[in-house]
Amino acid sequence: MQPDTSTASNGNVDSTPSGSTQSATSTASNDNVDNTPSGPPQSATSTASNGNVDNTPSGSMQSATSTASNGNVDNTPSGSMQSATSTASNGNVNSTLPRCREIRTPLSNTTLTLKEMEGTVEKIITHLRVNTEELSSVKRSKISAPDDRVSSTTMGMGGIVFIVVVTGLMIVSDIGKSRSRSSICS
């Protein structure tokens, strides 16, 4: 079916082509325009100078253009659509379009050989492997944070002095005992 064209000077226009069409055009000068193609048309154009325009395609559509000078424009496609343009000089414009996205369906009823599966598993493992030395948690655990408080500095210095004094006393006492033993043995 080629283009469907409907024109009304003072009434409602309902252009509802059935099947696949290339173009659907509706024009009304004073009232409502309803352009509802049921197949996948390539373009639908609706123009109303003083009324409402309603483009409601139900199939796949490449472009839809609606223009109303004094009225409401409503484009509500339910199928896949590439672009839609709605223009109204005095009225409301409502254009609800679905986003075109690439739909990927998983392969069904496929049988992979052992080599194909091993290759896929190796790719996944190398992609998911993480070097633990580069993790921020490991880097943070190896860095001590500075503490400039006077109380913590004093406690740290006191601990160092205590360890040095205890170790020094043990060494000095051993040196004294070893001299007394060496004098006894000789």
* DSSP letters spanning 32-65: -EEE--SS--SEEEEEESSS-EEE---S-EEEEE
pLDDT of 86 > 70? The answer is no
Residue boundaries of the structural domains of the chain: 4-95
Residue type, 150: V
Residue 61: what pLDDT?
47
pLDDT of 123 > 60? The answer is yes
Q: Are the beta carbons of 50 and 30 closer than 8 angstroms?
A: yes
Task: Calculate mean pLDDT across residues 40-51.
Answer: 50
Residue 178: what pLDDT?
75
pLDDT of 105 > 60? The answer is yes
- Under the banding of pLDDT at 50, 70 and 90, the label for residue 12 is very low
pLDDT tens for 145-182 read 888 899 999 999 999 999 999 999 999 888 877 777 66
**Residue 5 corresponds to which tokens in the numbers above?**
């064209």
